[in-house]
Chains A and B, each alone.
Chain A
Amino acid sequence: MDISSREIKIIQTSTQLTFSDIVGAWKARWGINRMNYKVEPGLYSVGSPASNSPVMVTANYKMSFDMLRKELIGLDAWILVLDTKGINVWCAAGKGTFGTKELLNRIAIVQLEKVVSHRTVIVPQLGAPGISAHEVLKYSGFKVLYGPVKAKDIKEFINSGMKASTEMRTVRFNTYDRLVLTPVELVSTFKVSLIIFGILFLLNLIGVGPFGLIDFYAYMGAVIVGCVLTPVLLPWIPGRAFAWKGWLVGFIWAVIVNVFNGWPEAPQYSLLRALGYLLILPSVSAFFAMNFTGSSTFTSFSGVLKEMRIAVPAIIISIFLGIVLILVNSFIKL
């Protein structure tokens, strides 16, 4: 009697993305429903795979899953989706949810050894921080082959006999890669920006001010410098620390704001306020640029810590002094 006759569940999927898949990805890029954009973990099939077809492992973030399957046109393959709580492969590997244990569990749950005759799984290379290939082999008998960094190279990888070139193994961070990450940076600042506008509004009400259009666009410009402009121009801005790069572009922005308002020939506002902008705006940009380290593909923990030890106190002091100057300026006028 077969005591382990658990049903093998295989979900058929397609290499064609639908309109709603594309809208879903776009929404996730803008931070809408991004943390709940998931597919069911398990074993999927594309085309009509046989027992000798390759098995590709991915995360259950729907964008990761979609990016992989759309590259598999014309292939017959299995996709093993790990439960990474809706997080992409690289980030989940860093957390350990895309990890040795989950891979071993998932192989056992879907009974992969009954579905395929070979003993190889292709794991995206960026999953490697979470996976110990030699341990997976030891406990499951499955050999982990690290595939290319990008799903778009997967066909070439398979066609070249499961060999990834150095090119395929290297993670890049080109202008487009950086640009697609900026909307979510921008959206995440809305809450804090609304709080700041609220405080300025209250200050206006109690007669300390007036804060108006200039403050609004000066601040919004500094946010856009930190969240969009600095990330996009990243490699061309001199220096290495992200906070420094953001500060530099933010400083240029602050000078532009002051010059635009007549400095130094016919100033629209006092020297105190102009200095206040020079202290606050670059620091705001520096802070948001520094946060982009989390989205980048080449910053190390030790490096970010090092830059933060200098940048965070400098940003706090600079913004504090700037606020003092602007408030003093407002009180003088009262």
Chain B
Amino acid sequence: MKNRYLKNVSTLKLKTDKCTGCGKCIEVCPHNVFVLNDGKTHIVDKDRCMECGACVKNCPFNAIEVKPGVGCAYAIIMGWLTGTEPSCDCSDNSSGGCC
């Protein structure tokens, strides 16, 4: 069985005009969101994107945009409670199973 998450939520954007088809994004994407076709990258399944930001960080041509963030409810709750950006910093106390 495949794990699938919510549809139409990812903030992933690809600027095809800047893409040179180097394929770096395809290499780093852990969920096979991209394919190379006719010398350019295309998004095949945006709903697989988990917004980790690996593609953005490794695109030498700034052709990809995503609002990177942690897909972690505990981090978001802590962000709401402390009024800060949600981050993986639950490490200081031992709650939460995430990082």
The interface of chain A, by Cβ under 8 A from chain B, is 31, 34-35, 85, 87-88, 90-95, 125-126, 128-134, 146, 149, 164, 166, 169-171, 173, 181, 184-185, 188, 191, 234-236, 240-243, 290-308, 312
Distance, CA A243 to CA B72, complexed state (A)? 12
Give the nearest-CB partner of A181 in chain B: B97
Contact between B60 and A125, CB atoms less than 8 A apart: no
Measured between beta carbons, the chain B residues less than 8 angstroms from A146 are 27-28
Are A188 and B94 in contact, CB atoms less than 8 angstroms apart? yes
A241 touches B89 (CB 8 A): no
State which size class the interface on B falls in.
35 or more
CA distance A24 to B89 in the complex (A): 23
Q: In the complex, which of the residues B4, B60, B86 contacts A301, with contact meaning CB atoms closer than 8 Å? A: B86
Q: Assuming A129-B53, A129-B57, is B71 touching A293 (CB within 8 A)?
A: yes
Q: Which residues of A contact B1 (CB under 8 A)?
A: 235-236
User: Which B residues form the contact surface with A (CB < 8 A)?
Assistant: 1-7, 9-11, 24, 27-32, 48-54, 57-58, 60, 67-77, 86-92, 94-99
Q: A94-B70, A297-B50 are in contact. List 18 more A-B contacts (CB 8 A).
A: A90-B99, A91-B98, A91-B99, A94-B52, A125-B28, A128-B57, A129-B54, A164-B27, A169-B30, A191-B95, A294-B72, A298-B71, A300-B6, A300-B51, A301-B71, A302-B11, A304-B72, A306-B9
CA distance in complex: A295, B95 (Å) = 12
* Contact partners of B77 in chain A: CB under 8 A: 308, 312
Check A31 against B51 for contact (C-beta < 8 Å): no
Closest CB of chain B to A236's CB: distance in Å?
A: 6
Establish whether residues B57 and A131, one from each chain, have CB atoms under 8 Å apart when the complex forms: yes
Q: Is the CB of A133 within 8 A of B88?
A: no
**Across the interface, which residues of B come within 8 angstroms of A133, CB to CB?**
24, 58
Name which of B7, B49, B50 has the most chain A CB atoms within 10 A of its CB. Answer: B50
Knowing A91-B88, A181-B97, A308-B73, the reply to whether A300 touches B50 (Cβ < 8 A) is: yes
**Alpha-carbon distance between A109 and B74 when the two chains are bound, in angstroms:** 36
Instruction: Tell me which residues across on chain B come within 8 A of A292, comparing CB atoms.
Output: 97
Cβ A85 vs Cβ B94 within 8 A: no
Would you call A308 and B49 a contact (CB within 8 A)? no
Q: What is the bound-complex CA distance between A82 and B10, given in angstroms?
A: 30
Q: List, sorted by A's number, 28 A–B pairs whose CB atoms are closer than 8 Å.
A: A87-B88, A94-B68, A95-B89, A128-B58, A129-B54, A146-B28, A185-B97, A188-B94, A188-B96, A234-B3, A235-B1, A240-B4, A242-B73, A293-B73, A294-B73, A294-B98, A294-B99, A295-B97, A297-B3, A297-B30, A299-B71, A300-B69, A301-B69, A301-B71, A302-B69, A303-B5, A303-B71, A306-B6
